[in-house]
Amino acid sequence: MAMGLLFTGAIMVFLMAGLHVATAIFFTAYLADWLDMGVLPSMVGNLTWNTMNEFLLVAIPLFILLGELLSRSGVAELMYKGLSVWLRWLPGGLLHTNIVASALFAATSGSTVATAATIGTVAQPTMAKLGYNERMVLGSIAAGGTLGILIPPSINMIVYGALTDVSVGRLFIAGIIPGLALAITMSAIIVVVSLIWGDNHREDGPLPSLVLRLRMLVGLLPVLFVFAMVMGSIYAGLATPTEAAAVGIVGALMIAASNRTLTVAMLHEAFLSSVRTTAMVMLVLTTAFVLNFSLSLTGLPQQLSEYIRDLNWSATTTIWVLVLFYLLLGIFIEAMAMMVTTVGIVTPLVVSLGFDPVWFGIFITVMMELAIISPPVGLNLYVVQNLRPIKGSINDVFIGVLPFVVAMLIFVALLIEFPGIALWLPNQVFN
């Protein structure tokens, strides 16, 4: 236990001293190994080659590129408009469009910031409209963006799958219902808050005719098409999840071509951005594997499991302690870093308590979503702050996101109480 605290302390000190996350992880691994078997220096070459050369992780750059291509191909605006005419009658009006558009765009994008920035940009008109509670507008975009990693595809789930040897295909399918359920929970919160704070927006103009509204639904097709290609090729037995990412890219290229947005310049912009993001993720991930190697040699994960088991907490208590733990961690630490530094130890513990590793993958994804919208380290908050036409205090964003933090916590409770939310669909699909 003392060892565990030492390593946790070391990594926290390194991180807080402003080291790069990868460096902090890497030297913690060296420290752990130096205090234990001293074998890491002779293994580092093999470990990094092994991680970086892993075919399953090829899905990471492919899904990042897919999101980049799609958001550059001009599908987001039409999708937003198509949704808005159908959703604005709800209490909360266009706020629901923000959530649903995020959920839909999430079905093709693997990251949260890209989702929030894309939807936030097309949703900007809602911010200027009178009658909308601006804080709720900001909150709905920041929170809606986090659906990017819960609704497949999801970079974070691929990383979780790689670190824990859980099937990425299962994780993806498992994320669909929770993603929809969380979106619905967010919408429900919007209804509740709108009824409490007063829902006095009626500035959206006359509703277009039914025929026009139906025609506007065409705007949803490109995104649905790519989603169907990706998930459909997995489900129909055409492709593995890694291969499905490639199928999605070909789909996105086709859409960009048909929208006449496919140019060499556009491609090069997308390449620069996606290779950079890939490099960032892979450096952290590579060092995470090095840390996993060191820690498992020390036997710490097993000791920690035994320690927790000796506390004789119920499985539910343990999970709620973990919720608390991740909430606190998520305040200060970037979401992906939070996951890669902990799953090596926490997953075996949780599995030994009888939880399904696929379920835990969904659980930790939701905890990452919370981390992404909890200040001060929560990038989505700053994304929406910067989208505001008239800058106000960042506190507006912090307050606006609170109802959605509540929505996520309610959803976490549901996920713990009814694990079937995550497990039912993969069990149907795969058995």
Residue 276 touches which of another protein, Na ion, none (Cβ within 5-8 Å per kind): another protein
- Encoded one letter per residue, x for contact with Na ion by CB under 5 A and - for no contact, window 371-390 reads x--x--xx------------
Q: How far is the CB of 198 from another protein (least distance, A)?
A: 30
Q: Helices in 74-167 by DSSP H: which ranges?
A: 76-87, 94-106, 112-128, 134-145, 155-164
Site for Na ion, residues 130 to 189, rule: CB under 5 A: 148, 151, 154
The amino acid at residue 423 is L
Site for another protein, residues 191 to 220, rule: CB under 8 A: 212, 215-216, 219
- Encoded one letter per residue, x for contact with another protein by CB under 8 A and - for no contact, window 67-106 reads ----xxxx-xxx--x-------------------------
In angstroms, how far is CA 418 from the centroid of its own chain? 21
Q: How far is the CB of 377 from Na ion (least distance, A)?
A: 4
**Residue 9 lies near another protein (rule: CB under 8 A):** no
**Residue 362 lies near Na ion (rule: CB under 5 A):** no
The residues, ordered by sequence, that sit 6+ positions from 24 with a Cβ below 8 Å of its Cβ are: 11, 14, 15
Contact with another protein (CB under 8 A) among 184, 192, 228, 280 = 280
C-beta of 297 vs 410, nearer to another protein: 297
Helix orientation angle between 420-430 and 357-372, rounded to the nearest 10 degrees: 130
Distances (CA, A) of 428 to 116, 222, 417, 422, 424: 31, 27, 20, 11, 6
- Encoded one letter per residue, x for contact with Na ion by CB under 5 A and - for no contact, window 60-99 reads ----------------------------------------
Q: How far is the CB of 368 from Na ion (least distance, A)?
A: 10
Residue 106 touches which of Na ion, another protein, none (Cβ within 5-8 Å per kind): Na ion
Helix orientation angle between 168-197 and 357-372, rounded to the nearest 10 degrees: 40
Site for Na ion, residues 21 to 60, rule: CB under 5 A: none
Residue 303 touches which of another protein, Na ion, none (Cβ within 5-8 Å per kind): none
Dist CA 266 CA 398 (whole Å): 35
Site for another protein, residues 337 to 366, rule: CB under 8 A: 337
The residues, ordered by sequence, that sit 6+ positions from 69 with a Cβ below 8 Å of its Cβ are: 249, 252, 253, 256, 267, 270
Site for another protein, residues 102 to 161, rule: CB under 8 A: 113, 117-118, 120-122
**Residue 303 lies near another protein (rule: CB under 8 A):** no
Site for Na ion, residues 199 to 258, rule: CB under 5 A: none
Confirm if 390 and 137 have CB atoms less than 8 A apart: no
Dist CA 315 CA 93 (whole Å): 41
Distances (CA, A) of 219 to 78, 181, 261, 267: 5, 23, 16, 23
Residue 266 touches which of another protein, Na ion, none (Cβ within 5-8 Å per kind): another protein
Residue 210 touches which of another protein, Na ion, none (Cβ within 5-8 Å per kind): none
Site for Na ion, residues 286 to 345, rule: CB under 5 A: 330
Contact with another protein (CB under 8 A) among 125, 376, 392, 420 = 376
The residues, ordered by sequence, that sit 6+ positions from 208 with a Cβ below 8 Å of its Cβ are: 85, 216
C-beta of 198 vs 299, nearer to another protein: 299
**Residue 279 lies near another protein (rule: CB under 8 A):** yes
Give the DSSP per-residue string, 337-390: HHHHHHHHHHHHHHHHTT--HHHHHHHHHHHHHHHHTSSSS-HHHHHHHTT-SS
**Residue 271 lies near another protein (rule: CB under 8 A):** yes
Q: How far is the CB of 373 from Na ion (least distance, A)?
A: 7
In angstroms, how far is CA 310 from the centroid of its own chain? 33
Contact with another protein (CB under 8 A) among 28, 112, 146, 167 = 167
**Residue 61 lies near another protein (rule: CB under 8 A):** yes
Confirm if 366 and 322 have CB atoms less than 8 A apart: no
**Residue 112 lies near Na ion (rule: CB under 5 A):** no
Contact with another protein (CB under 8 A) among 180, 221, 379, 409 = 379
C-beta of 86 vs 332, nearer to Na ion: 332
Contact with another protein (CB under 8 A) among 204, 332, 406, 409 = 332
Of 71, 9, 56, the C-alpha closest to 164 is: 56
